[in-house]
Amino acid sequence: MEFDIAVLPGDGIGPEVITQAVKVLQVVGEKFGHKFHFHAGLVGGSAIDKQGMALSEETLKMCKQCDAVLFGAVGGPKWDNLQAKVHPEDGLLALRKELGLFANLRPVKVFPMLVNSTTLKPEVIEDVDLVIVRELTGGLYFGQPKKRWQTPEGRQAVDTLFYSEGEIERILRVGFELARSRSKKLISVDKANILESSRLWRQIAIELSAEYPDVELQHMLVDACAMRLIQRPADLDVMVMENMFGDILTDEASMLAGSMGMLPSASLAGIPKGKAFGMYEPIHGSAPRRAGKNMANPIATILSGAMMLRYSLGLESEAQAVENAVLAVLEEGYRTYDIMEEGKLRTGTSEMGDLITERIKC
Ligand code: IPM
Ligand code: MN
């Protein structure tokens, strides 16, 4: 089969890790007889420099014409000025909104050979295999009004946590469907003791659960969830939540896996059943201090490529081939700096990409 894939490397280590993921996908194509056409585009700081904006019409149009988008990372000190009119991150938010990517899946799986590379006790994190489903196009990130103004008493500012019934229902459905394909347990995370938007969220979750009698629905307050994530994370499976809660809790959850460099993500425009258009990116940022040094861990981006094969291209065996190759290379003891331990074999970004590619070939 033939597929068109938009590739947006972005800034910092983005281009380096994306190069490795593209290399891996090319080999998957050769091995399984698919043709992937890669279309490169600018986004973030590099787009600000060359096109004067963080996401141009040209890049957006190109993404819309493709089957899926592979995204690196955006941002860096060069564009960090708080007073600036455009920020690299605006490019990412515009992509999410314009492409309708409302469902962000962030799986956190602790690899058995990495249980000692985190700051948490191995017995707490072994067997962790959970997925955070984060709403991605609503809530505090996009709600209006969102502004700052001057008053005689000083400056004031507001952000708005707005959700419509439709937005809540579709993301909860993603949670229910995913739970159905896994442990059949869904945790809906909210702050229903305080927030009106959370009360609506919880009510819709209860109403919707009638359509999913095989899935056990549990509600958890977001502060309690933050605690449970480090207390007994192996008990957790699918968790669904609004945008900002998901932003915060996914960074916390990423530490269970030892390094942000290990975690992929999918941002989908539909329910992950059959094929859905999506954008795939590592959950880490652009790590400007590591850029250009062939140091960064490409595994998060390579595993994001596997998620793309699975959710947007419908290529399950191909996705598994990539995941198995990553496991094999880790099993053999190869490590990038972020997951390095004594006695292991230290590799750079491109060597890690090569090792994974080799395992897929054989
Ligand atoms: C993430 C990032 C983004 C977010 C930033 C870069 C806009 O932190 O994907 O979690 O806040 O959503
Ligand atoms: Mn974040």
CATH code at 283? 3.40.718.10
Q: Choose one of 92, 249, 265 to mutate for the ligand 1 pocket test, by most ligand atoms within 8 angstroms of C-beta.
A: 92
84 part of a folded domain: yes
Domain count, the chain: 2
Q: Is the pLDDT of residue 117 over 90?
A: no
Among candidates 169, 228, 242, which has minimal Cα distance to 203?
169
Confidence label for 102 from pLDDT (cuts 50, 70 and 90):
very high
Predicted local distance difference test score (pLDDT) of residue 178: 97
* 284 in the same domain as 249: no
Does 184 lie in the same domain as 299?
Answer: no
Q: Is residue 325 part of a domain?
A: yes
Q: Is residue 11 part of a domain?
A: yes
* Averaged pLDDT, 260-277: 93
What is the per-residue pLDDT for 83? 83
Domain boundary among 199, 229, 257: 257
Q: How, if at all, do strands 103-109 and 264-268 pair?
A: antiparallel
Hey, CA dihedral for 10, 13, 14, 20, is it positive or negative? positive
Is the CB of 89 inside a 6 Å radius of any atom of ligand 1?
A: yes
Within this chain, do residues 346 and 284 fall inside the same structural domain, yes or no? yes
What is the rounded CA–CA span in Å between residue 128 and residue 140?
29
Residues 70/19/41/52 CA torsion (nearest 10 deg): 110
User: Structural domain of residue 137, as residue ranges?
Assistant: 118-257
Residues 154 and 189 in one domain: yes
Q: How many CA atoms lie within 13 A of 123 on its CB side?
A: 0
37-84 per-position pLDDT tens digit? 999 999 999 999 999 999 999 999 999 999 999 999 999 999 998 888
**Residue 75 alpha carbon to ligand 2 centre in Å:** 13
Q: Kindly name the residue from 90, 141, 311, 334 that is annotated as catalytic.
A: 141
CA–CA gap between residue 20 and residue 347 (Å, rounded): 13
Residues 245 and 136 in one domain: yes
Query: In angstroms, what is the span from residue 243 Cα to ligand 1's centroid?
Result: 10
Instruction: Report if residue 299 sits inside a domain.
Output: yes
* pLDDT above 90 for 274: no
Compute the distance between CA of residue 201 and CA of residue 204 in angstroms, rounded to an integer: 5
Is 33 a residue whose pLDDT tops 90?
Answer: yes
d(CA 349, CA 164): 43
From 232, 257, 282, the end of a domain falls on 257
Pick from 11, 89, 284, 301 the residue to mutate for probing ligand 1's pocket: most ligand atoms within 8 Å of its CB.
Answer: 89
> Both 246 and 282 in a single domain?
no
Tell whether 225 and 124 lie within a shared domain: yes
Cα-flanking dihedrals φ and ψ of residue 200, to 5°? -65, -45
In a domain, 353, yes or no: yes
**How high is the pLDDT of residue 132?**
98
Assess if residue 112 is contained within a domain: no
Express as a percent the part of the chain with pLDDT over 70: 100
The pLDDT value given to residue 292:
97
Q: Which atom of ligand 1 is nearest to the CA of 285?
A: 6
Measured from the alpha carbon of residue 281, the closest ligand is 1
One domain, residues 357 and 333: yes
Domain assignment present for residue 17? The answer is yes
Q: Write the CB contacts of 358 (distance below 8 Å, at least 6 apart in sequence).
A: none
36 bridge partner residues = 3
Look at residue 262 and tell me if it is in a domain. Answer: no
242 & 297 share domain? no
Question: From the CA of 43, which ligand is nearest?
Answer: 1
Predicted structure pTM score: 0.96
Averaged pLDDT for residues 147-167: 98
What does the pLDDT average to over 225-251? 97
Same domain, 26 and 82: yes
User: Has 223 been annotated as catalytic?
Assistant: yes
Residues 231, 207: one domain? yes
Q: Which numbered atom of ligand 1 lies nearest the CA of 281?
A: 9
Q: 253 and 110 in contact (C-beta within 8 Å)? A: no
Does residue 283 share a domain with residue 311?
yes
299-329 b/e (C-beta count within 10 Å ≥ 16 → b): bbbbbbbbbbbbbbbebeebbebbbebbebb
**Which domain-ending residue is among 235, 257, 279?**
257
The two beta strands, 68-73 and 2-10, are parallel
DSSP label at residue 272? S
